[in-house]
Structure 1
Amino acid sequence: MAESVDVPIIAPVAPSYAHPGDAGADLISAETVLLGAGQRALVGTGVRIALPDGYAAFVVPRSGLAAKHGITIVNSPGTIDAGYRGEIKVALLNTDAMNDYQITAGDRIAQLIVMPVPRVRFLPVDELPDSVRGDGGFGSTGYDTSARTPR
């Protein structure tokens, strides 16, 4: 079992885990917002936290909202740094081009994942070590370019 981390919080409703073993705790909307077709809105949660140094929180979409209604997060994952003490707001986007989506105060709108994040020292070098992947990216593992079929 992973180590538990204490996070001081001020919130009308604290994020909670739906099931044992869940990585993300549900964030609840603190306001009612009509998210028009194709529109985005910054939705408040009323949640303020104080993460310990060496940790960050990431706001990620709820898979059910995405699959059923096309609701996602514009800047996913949204990053909450350890030094931030303001309200966590979620930049929701309605990807449905025809249907509005009603968000009501109390609805689960996102998930919050808290993780340790090491401080990194960037070391300038003239050349990087080789790897199996090399510089392949952006679809380099998803398609066989000679046949144009997914792998």
Structure 2
Amino acid sequence: MKIKIINKSTHDVPHYETLASAGMDLRANLSEPRVLKPLERSIVGTGLFIELPVGYEAQVRPRSGLAAKKGITVLNAPGTVDADYRGEIGVILVNLSNEEFVIQNGERIAQLVIAKHERAEWEEVEELSSTERGSGGFGSTGTK
């Protein structure tokens, strides 16, 4: 599938690192490094603007390496870029570590996954079909 993109950053457009990669890395587009203090959050621009076809979304997800090694993650993961959004793709980063983290221009800060989605219509009813699980919620299926 082809997706229209405007790249106002100084970096290449996102691309898949391997044949089987689901996501493409997003890079910070900064005029100067930005310090993210412990528990601080910041919207980091990418310089990218996209036009998705209706029926698709772009999901902004954390990078596992940044999360595991530095405690940096995407606050609203996954963030959704809707097909009718035409603004710059921004990434809401949060520092969950105890140390300051410096975001450098060009740093890979998140990944973008293109996903097809359905639109649902609600059908109001008086009752739902029964299942073995029923209304058992969080942890109701056990841990083993």
TM-score w.r.t. the length of structure 2 is 0.91
Q: Using a 3 Å threshold, how does the CA distance of structure 1 residues 142 and 45 change in structure 2: closer, same or farther?
A: farther
Q: Matches of residues 73-84 of structure 1 in structure 2 within 5 Å? A: 73-84=74-85
Instruction: Quote the offset at 1:142 in angstroms.
Output: 4.6
Instruction: Quote the offset at 1:14 in angstroms.
Output: 1.1
Do the aligned partners of 1:50 and 1:83 also contact (CA within 8 Å) in 2?
Answer: yes
Q: Matches of residues 1-150 of structure 1 in structure 2 within 5 Å? A: 5-11=1-7, 12=9, 13-31=12-30, 32-96=33-97, 98-143=98-143
Identity %: 47
Distance 1:93 1:133 in 2: 36
Distance 1:106 1:126 in 2: 54
Q: Which runs of 5+ in 1 are unaligned?
A: 144-150
| Deviation readout 1:28-66 (Å, 9 max, x if unpaired) | 110131111121111001111000001011100000000
RMSD: 1.3
Mean Cα deviation higher: 12-21 or 80-89:
12-21
Q: Using a 3 Å threshold, how does the CA distance of structure 1 residues 138 and 35 change in structure 2: closer, same or farther?
A: same
Distance 2:142 2:6 in 1: 44
Distance 2:107 2:40 in 1: 18
Runs of 4+ aligned structure 1 residues displaced above 4 Å come to none
Report how many aligned residue pairs link the two structures. 139
Q: Which runs of 5+ in 2 are unaligned?
A: none
